[in-house]
Chains A and B, each alone.
Chain A
Amino acid sequence: MGDLPQSHRDDGVGNNSSGSPLTTEVLVKVRQRDPQALAALFDHHFSRIFNLAYRLLGERTAAEDMTQEVFLRVHRAAHQLDTDRDPGPWLMTITANLCREKWRSREGRQAMKTASLDDKPELAVDLSNGSAAPDAEVLDKDRDRLLGEAIGKLPEAMCLVVVLHDLQGMTHEEISGIVGDEPAAVRKRYSRALLKLREILPDGLA
């Protein structure tokens, strides 16, 4: 997952989800629930988990509930952590599967329908816009809001693939491990999702 766009690496305000991978030594201590190791794991992955939940559920409160649920489960299962592997895919899988369960509930779908993806747009941080003129910044934010909402309107399987591939930086191969379909099927679904997004988005944006 090393090729995420820069804006997904570190927002500079404490939501750091990047840096060097956690060492095996740290992961061994996570298994023992060592407080410092747990803190390192949290700092390393919190932002990606929160952002994945937010993009999939489309609403801040739901994303917070989901992030808490994920970390609760991780804490309970810490002794099962595979210290030879990057825990990132495991955490993404837990988050994606819990979001899918939520989607399948009536309330989950309701949230997707009614929420704007940027329900607190002032908190959306895009480092690439740092030097943009105010008007351009407003236009960019409006474009991002429409695009985020359009992703939220995709059928759930398509939404999941787009978010994992383009916003979480996962390959089709990695996504297939999460959704349980062949990589070729994931690739096709991703292609269909782009077509669908072009239909959903206003002409100027599509």
Chain B
Amino acid sequence: MSERQDMNLTPEERRLQEAIRGLGEVRSEDAFRERLRGQFISGNFGEVVPLEKKSNRRLLWGAAVSSLAAILAFLVLFNGDPVWTLHSVTGTGSIVVNGQPVDASDFEGLKDLVQPGARFVVPATAELELRLGRVMVFGIIRDSDVTIPARTDNNQPIHTATVTGGELLVKTGPAFEGEDLLILTSEGRIELTGTTIAVNKGDGFTCVCVLEGTAKIGKDKADLDEVSAGYRKVMFADGSPSIIVDIEVGHEKDLTDFETRNEEAFD
């Protein structure tokens, strides 16, 4: 337990840690505790409704009408397949989508140009976020050139994106399960099976930071390393050996902010 004495905390962090550790214990209702104790000892839990069903029962009537409407709208509009949509644009300047410049302030104009396989060239003064249903969120950071995945084949659900320059942030969602995302740069490939990462394509290198989960990263299929949360892999165009090192503070902050911003993206 000596590890609980975390080293290298600042005085502020130490105070915060002490405050958390000092939070009071929450007492259960006596009636609940006694009922459950009896059930556990006897093994007779009665008709235990699975957690999800309990939740569903509580929400059922309130959610029924809106859920039905949402499902119908979804089926009518999208025939069941999630589509890429523009979620937000910040900053100023001209964003080029498939060769067509649109002012960053023209949200509707940009929204109309979003389609599978679209290429986004974002200036140093703007950023945007795109969502593919509950499958994934892309954050295209300032001064970046990114092509989002084209429509996937149902028999081979691999989404392939390309980062030609700049930085792409990725967060996968619950509907990503069973699918794969492949991100290509001139220095290598990144294979994801559910995680939050940043792909930074600089001049002569690609740096991939992993905030959550793991990602397979390498120059080619034979060179893939599993990189876990808290680390980054840097691959070089000049043939220098790739390195795996701690995640960079600046990228980590970008990713943490991105993760927090999109915490409810898949609700």
Stretch at the interface among B35-43, B84-92, B99-107, B178-186: B35-43
List chain A residues, Cβ under 8 A from B230.
Answer: 182, 184-185, 188-189
Per a CB cutoff under 8 Å, which of A55, A147, A182 touches B228? A182
Give the shortest distance, in Å, between A142 (CB) and chain B (any CB): 12
Per a CB cutoff under 8 Å, which of B3, B43, B174, B256 touches A75? B43
Give the shortest distance, in Å, between B2 (CB) and chain A (any CB): 8
Asked if B45 and A68 make an inter-chain contact with CB atoms under 8 angstroms apart, the answer reads yes
A132 to B154, CA, bound (A): 64
A104 interfacial contact with B, CB 8 Å: yes
Within B208-267, the residues touching A (CB, 8 Å) are 212, 228-231, 246-247, 252, 256, 259-260, 263-264, 267
> How many B residues touch the partner, as a band?
35 or more
Chain A's interface: helix, strand, loop or mixed, by majority? helix
A132 to B19, CA, bound (A): 16
Asked if B4 and A46 make an inter-chain contact with CB atoms under 8 angstroms apart, the answer reads no
Answer whether A192 and B256 are a contact pair too, CB < 8 Å, given A38-B41, A51-B25.
Answer: yes
A90 to B77, CA, bound (A): 46
A80 interfacial contact with B, CB 8 Å: no
A50 to B33, CA, bound (A): 10
Asked if A185 and B228 make an inter-chain contact with CB atoms under 8 angstroms apart, the answer reads yes
Asked if B27 and A7 make an inter-chain contact with CB atoms under 8 angstroms apart, the answer reads no
Answer whether A125 and B48 are a contact pair too, CB < 8 Å, given A3-B4, A42-B37, A110-B267.
Answer: no
Max count, chain A CB within 10 A of own CB: residue among B25, B42, B246: B25
> How many A residues touch the partner, as a band?
35 or more
Asked if B55 and A107 make an inter-chain contact with CB atoms under 8 angstroms apart, the answer reads yes
Query: Inter-chain contact count A-B, CB under 8 Å?
Result: 177
B153 interfacial contact with A, CB 8 Å: no
A169, closest chain B residue (CB): B4
Within A139-194, the residues touching B (CB, 8 Å) are 143-144, 147-148, 151, 155, 157, 162, 165-167, 169, 171-173, 181-182, 184-185, 187-192, 194
List chain B residues, Cβ under 8 A from A82.
Answer: none
B23, closest chain A residue (CB): A144
Answer whether A7 and B25 are a contact pair too, CB < 8 Å, given A64-B32, A181-B229.
Answer: yes
List chain A residues, Cβ under 8 A from B37.
Answer: 39, 42-43, 46
B6 interfacial contact with A, CB 8 Å: yes
B30 interfacial contact with A, CB 8 Å: yes
B54, closest chain A residue (CB): A65
List chain B residues, Cβ under 8 A from A118.
Answer: 26
A129, closest chain B residue (CB): B24
A104 to B39, CA, bound (A): 28
A5 interfacial contact with B, CB 8 Å: yes
Answer whether A155 and B260 are a contact pair too, CB < 8 Å, given A3-B1, A166-B17, A185-B229.
Answer: yes
Asked if A69 and B23 make an inter-chain contact with CB atoms under 8 angstroms apart, the answer reads no
Asked if A181 and B228 make an inter-chain contact with CB atoms under 8 angstroms apart, the answer reads yes
Asked if B22 and A128 make an inter-chain contact with CB atoms under 8 angstroms apart, the answer reads yes
A113 interfacial contact with B, CB 8 Å: yes
Asked if A165 and B22 make an inter-chain contact with CB atoms under 8 angstroms apart, the answer reads no
List chain B residues, Cβ under 8 A from A35.
Answer: 41-42
Asked if A107 and B56 make an inter-chain contact with CB atoms under 8 angstroms apart, the answer reads yes
Stretch at the interface among B8-16, B144-152, B159-167: B8-16
B59 interfacial contact with A, CB 8 Å: yes
Answer whether A15 and B28 are a contact pair too, CB < 8 Å, given A128-B22, A147-B20, A192-B252.
Answer: yes
A175 to B50, CA, bound (A): 26
Asked if B36 and A71 make an inter-chain contact with CB atoms under 8 angstroms apart, the answer reads yes
User: 17 A-B Cβ contacts within 8 A?
Assistant: A3-B4, A42-B41, A51-B25, A64-B29, A67-B28, A71-B40, A72-B45, A102-B51, A107-B55, A109-B264, A123-B27, A124-B25, A155-B263, A157-B212, A181-B228, A197-B20, A205-B19
